Structure 1
């Protein structure tokens, strides 16, 4: 159920609706819009009768929601969501590019990468401090030292930081440094972590699980939003299919589908999406043409020597060239690629 308030509804009108929802044992969720506020209801186990809410002061309508992912559905909020991340506004016409290495390795590596990707036009820096891998014997990241190096790179360049959250135990330390939290594909259905991130008031990038459907991805986002954190970005990063020529298959169908189903911004990770360095620029272009609101691209000063994911990582000249191509695609479809400052 969605309670749509009139544009002239007062704070007292909104609180009266919230109080009525709580009285029935449910939870209200305010969803501000361009011209009016809507209030979503969760916690109900059956159909909510609309009439008791339609007669309350300030209410324009009470609408039944057909999708199980209530709060992230475009039925609840027809216009695209936009929100702040550091000095940036994510969502909307401008496309943001997040770039950096898979893993933070050294000070020179991460600061140098931040300077390089900023020069090429990236607006955010990515880098893994905590690195969950399939094998326990692979590099697991510099952990807290990595977070400190990311913070130094931000001070040097002004680029906001995107880094992965591995688990609930390290979430507070990561959230203290990161401007945007990243939930990797392996954690898409880690419900304890989804709920914990929902309590943190920082933007979150939610990557699609490697075998997850779009509905499952949207339901994972619902866990976060239902806990009060509405600043969620959906990220398509490639799925597992029958194809063996590439590590993953980038599902570009997901971009228009997610944007039709949800008001949340949709980003694409072309590096993981195909897992092959030479093909990453083509998928950057394709993702923008398909309507993506942002890109996550792996970039390293010397990809063959990268500790992790060098096979799908661009060097600086490759990234700079790819950014020029992405700008051309964005302009052709009436959008632009954001720059910092």
Structure 2
């Protein structure tokens, strides 16, 4: 429920209403604006109705939140949210580029990649220390050693880090090493993991599940925000369809739809979305054109020798081509590379 107070309502009076809402076992929200103060009340609708807020002398209007997801909805927060990874803000008028290898393989490997990333306006370096793989015989990551490598590279290069957390028990450990936790497609509806990262004060990059609807993605984000962490970035990374020409079908219309429905920033992953490195550049341009807040792409000094997903990693020259050709598309969309 959204409660719009009358213009003369004071902060103290608003706090009194919030206490009444909380006393009923509901979740109160306080959203002061320039002209009006808006309150929110989340919980059992029958309890909400028992408050009879429509007749309260300080209340101008009461509106229900119609969407199943409340906290991440534009109905409640119409202004775009910006989420900081290190000193970089994702969202707003900037276009964010996060890049790096699928997996952290060694200190030398990650440092070499960071060297050419820092020659461009790249916001953060990504790299998996724990790798959830379809086959038990595939490279599973270096674990905590990989996290230490990420930390060292970050300190050396100045780039904040993004890495995937695959188990709730690892969340606090990873938060000590990296600047942003990624939740991958396979874990989008791992609700225990969502609640675990929701209790941490760290940005979370939440990828859409390969068979998930847009509403399911938003409800997964709702779990994190409801647990106490508003620093959520959504990521469209392609969905599984009957098409077999590409690894996944990159659902760019979902990006435009998400920008209408949620205040959270939305990134696109054209690497996993296609699984074909030659398609990464054109689909990155398309992502900028459709309104994405940025991209997360995979790049490697030698994709042929990569221990994970080498076929979709860009080599250094291809990454240079990506960045040089991206600027006009970003500017045409009214943004700037930051």
TM-score (norm 1): 0.93
CA RMSD of aligned residues (A): 2.0
Does residue 216 (structure 1) correspond to residue 203 (structure 2)? The answer is: no
Alpha-carbon distance, 1:319 to partner: 0.7
Q: How does 1:78-227 map to 2 (within 5 A)?
A: 78-227=78-227
Q: Any gaps of 5 or more consecutive residues in structure 1?
A: none
Q: Give the 3-state SS of the residue equivalent to 2:119 in structure 1.
A: helix
* Aligned residue in 2 for 1:266: 266
Residues 125 and 162 in structure 2, CA contact (< 8 A), matched pair in contact too: yes
Q: Give the 3-state SS of the residue equivalent to 1:150 in structure 2.
A: helix
Residues 72 and 218 in structure 1, CA contact (< 8 A), matched pair in contact too: yes
CA distance in 1, matches of 2:197, 2:56: 34
1:165-196 C-alpha deviation (Å, 9 max, x unpaired): 11111111111112111000001000011111
CA distance in 2, matches of 1:94, 1:34: 25
1:117-148 C-alpha deviation (Å, 9 max, x unpaired): 12122111100011111122211111101000
Residues 188 and 208 in structure 1, CA contact (< 8 A), matched pair in contact too: yes
Residues 83 and 233 in structure 2, CA contact (< 8 A), matched pair in contact too: no
Structure 1 65/327 Cα, relative in aligned 2: closer, same or farther at 3 Å? same
Alpha-carbon distance, 1:36 to partner: 5.8
Residues 38 and 76 in structure 1, CA contact (< 8 A), matched pair in contact too: no
Alpha-carbon distance, 1:111 to partner: 1.3
Residues 184 and 207 in structure 1, CA contact (< 8 A), matched pair in contact too: yes
CA distance in 2, matches of 1:299, 1:337: 18
Residues 50 and 62 in structure 1, CA contact (< 8 A), matched pair in contact too: no
Structure 1 135/39 Cα, relative in aligned 2: closer, same or farther at 3 Å? farther
1:28-63 C-alpha deviation (Å, 9 max, x unpaired): 234566766543322315473397335668655332
Residues 10 and 58 in structure 1, CA contact (< 8 A), matched pair in contact too: no
CA distance in 2, matches of 1:16, 1:322: 54
* Aligned residue in 2 for 1:255: 255
CA distance in 2, matches of 1:34, 1:171: 38
Residues 203 and 231 in structure 1, CA contact (< 8 A), matched pair in contact too: yes
Structure 1 294/57 Cα, relative in aligned 2: closer, same or farther at 3 Å? farther
Q: Any gaps of 5 or more consecutive residues in structure 2?
A: none
CA distance in 1, matches of 2:31, 2:40: 7
Q: Give the 3-state SS of the residue equivalent to 1:109 in structure 2.
A: helix
Structure 1 34/332 Cα, relative in aligned 2: closer, same or farther at 3 Å? farther
1:210-268 C-alpha deviation (Å, 9 max, x unpaired): 00000111111111111111111110000000001111000001111000011111100
224-233 or 32-41, which deviates more = 32-41
Structure 1 105/90 Cα, relative in aligned 2: closer, same or farther at 3 Å? same
Residues 109 and 301 in structure 1, CA contact (< 8 A), matched pair in contact too: yes
CA distance in 2, matches of 1:39, 1:165: 34
